[in-house]
Amino acid sequence: MASILKVDDLRGNTAAGNITITSEGGSATQSLQQGLSKGFACVDNEVTTTISTESFNVASTTDNGTGDFSLSWSNSMNSTPYAFGQICHNNQGDAYARGVGVYSTASSQQTPNGMTTSSCRFRVFYASSSASAGNAQQAYNALTLHGDLA
C-alpha cells in the first residue's frame, strides 16, 4: 500500500533536525524536533553490570547496586528537569507492583538530585499492599527521554 505525504511548507535546519511543518492553509505548525523522543533505553539490571540491551542517545550505563542504575547521555539535555516515560516488567511471578523512578534523596526537590543535564540515576522499586517495599532487580526496564537537547 502506497503512502501519500502532502506538505505545503517544509523548512528549517534539517541537518540539526529542526524542521517545522505548516499545515494546509497555514493554520497550524508543528516543530518535529520538539515532538521526538530524545533517547530511549531497555535496561537489564539483573546482571552484575547493568547493560542497555537497546538504546538511543545513551553513552553508558552504571550499576549502582540492587535496583539502582544510571544512564549517561551521548548528547546532553538543555536543562533539568526533563521528562521520562518508563515501565518495568514483573518477572518474579509475585504480587508486588514494580516501577522505575528518578533517584532523589528528598521529596521536596523540584529537580531530583540524581538528574543532571548529562546523566540520570534511577531506582527500580517494588511495593505491595502489606507495605513491603524495596529496590528490585528487573530484567526489563524501558525508558524514554523527552525534552530539549543542549
Window from 44-48, 52-56, 130-134, 137-141 with minimum mean pLDDT? 130-134
pTM of model > 0.95: no
Cell numbers placing 21: 511543518
Q: What is the pLDDT of residues 49-73, one digit of tens each?
A: 667 778 899 999 888 888 899 999 9
CA separation (Å) from 79 to 41, 118, 137, 147?
20, 9, 30, 8
Q: What is the pLDDT of residues 90-109, one digit of tens each?
A: 666 677 778 888 888 877 77
